[in-house]
Structures are given as structure tokens and as C-alpha cells.
Homo-oligomer: A and B are copies of this chain.
Amino acid sequence: MKIRAGFHIEYECQNETPMLLVLKVHPSRERDLCSEQTLSFNRMIPQRDYLDAYGNACSRIMAPAGRMAISAQFDVSDSGLAEFLPEQAVQLPIQDLPDDVLVFLLGSRYCDTDRLADFAWKQFSATPLGWPRVKAILDFVHGHLVFDYDRADPTRTAHGGFIDRTGVCRDFAHLTITLCRCLNIPARYCTGYLGDIGVPRDPHPMDFSAWCEVYLGGRWWTVDARHNVPRIGRILMARGRDATDVALSTAFGPATLTHFEVVTEEVD
């Protein structure tokens, strides 16, 4: 299967503004791309690419004063198979986790483990270790939060979402991650493309999506409490400790998002 994906985003800046962009496909999907990895701008804008500490493909630019449009479009090959659930995967004891995985047990900006630890243990400590416990967390988060685009709040933490009982995909991910970490299951935040392949068409305008990965049985697995079913054709862009690390754009100065459009669809 081939998937065509891309975006068109516009910003309005009062002054020249340095920006950090995380808008490329993750290096782990490069082999599936049928083209270069390039961002197109409406003006000549020098960019500089680097990999951050989490392995994400980042770009640095200086956004000019006025309107700036950024876009990308690419085809990516995909197995077309639904994600596999780790039903047999065991939960490794802490002492057997690889060193680099440990940081995904700690708290972070939006994953306030200290505020949810008591709840997590009370609610989930009776479930069997491993996938059943992760499944219980996913089902809980899926049922506890009501998806509502109009109540997105970029400062809301996992605990905030837990209390407000609402949020967007980012909040579903933060709450899942935080509960997993409280229970010593490493979890990290992911962002990327997720089209409607194989599922009913989502009535909202397409957006980038957020989900998470949990570490079970010696590897990372994709899980998604927002949809809570295996999906087809997810395309990873970036991973991190939480949304802080993978913001699509971080502007170091005032910048207004004036246009936003994402496309992800199957092509022949």
C-alpha cells in the first residue's frame, strides 16, 4: 500500500523569528519514503537539519516578518496491515530494562507522575502485569476522557486532563503515559500522521495525531487510547518524553498560526 501524506501550514510573524520545526517523517520511516525529505517554503528560507536527543529529524529556520507558508507532500509505502497488539508481551522487571529506557519512567512537563501515582496503584495494581495492565489503562483513559477539540489546552498536564475529563489526542496520550510510568511501565509520546484508512471517516478536519508507545517484552509497541483499536497506516514523525519535546513548531518570539491543513490518504 502507498499512502500520500503532507501538510500546508502558514504563520504570521511580526518580526524575524527563530523557529524550531519537527515536521519531517521520523528517520525510522525514511526507508519507506519514495522521495527526498524536504520542506517547501513560500520564500527562500535557509534551513538547518539536525537529530535531537530522541532521534527526531528537526529543522531550524529564521521565519521572516510577515506571512510564511511551509508545506510538504510525499508518498510512503506501508504494509497495509493493522498494528499488532502485544498480547503475549511480558512486563520486564525494572532491573532488566535497558538503560536508555529508564528516562521514560520519570516525570516530565505534562506527565506529572507524582500527582497520579496513588490513583494509578489503587486503580490498576490488581490487574495482571504486562499487556493486561496496559490494556486496562488504555480502556480506562479511553472511557474517562471525552474527546473535545474545543477544549484543547496546551498547558494541561495529565493530571489536569484526569480532573477535567476532557481533551484532545494529546491529553489521551499524556494520561496513558503517566499512568504507565506510575506503574513502572516505560512510556513515551509520539506524534505523526494518522489517516482514516480502514475506519469510518472522521468528520473533523484532518490534523496531526498524538499517541504513545509502551515498552513490553523487550521492545516498544504503539498504543492509542484515543481510538483504542489497532489502526492501519500510522506514520511516525517524532517521539519524546511528552508533547514538549515534539512540538511541530516552537517559535522563539510571537508567531500566529494562520492556516493549517493536513492530508493523509491511500493512493494507488
Contacts and interface: CB of A to CB of B under 8 A. Distances in A.
Interface of A: 1-2, 18, 20, 27-38, 48-53, 55, 58, 60, 62, 77-81, 83-84, 86, 88-90, 93-96, 98-100, 102-103, 105-109, 112, 114-115, 154-155, 184, 216-220, 222, 236, 244-245, 250, 252
The secondary structure that dominates the A interface is mixed
B18 A94 contact: yes
25 contacts: A1-B79, A2-B81, A20-B102, A27-B219, A33-B219, A34-B84, A35-B84, A36-B89, A36-B90, A36-B218, A37-B218, A37-B219, A49-B98, A50-B99, A52-B99, A52-B102, A52-B103, A55-B55, A58-B99, A60-B99, A106-B109, A107-B109, A108-B108, A108-B109, A109-B109
A20 B101 CA distance: 12
A216 B78 CA distance: 22
A154 to B, nearest CB: 7
A94 B218 contact: no
Contacts of A32: 79
Contacts of A35: 84, 88
B30 A31 contact: no
Given A1-B79, A79-B79, A109-B109, A36 B95 contact: no
A36 B154 contact: no
Interface centre among A58, A218, A245 (most CB of B within 10 A): A218
A244 B236 CA distance: 27
Contacts of A245: 103, 106
Given A28-B28, A60-B99, 5 more contacts: A32-B79, A36-B218, A51-B98, A106-B244, A109-B112
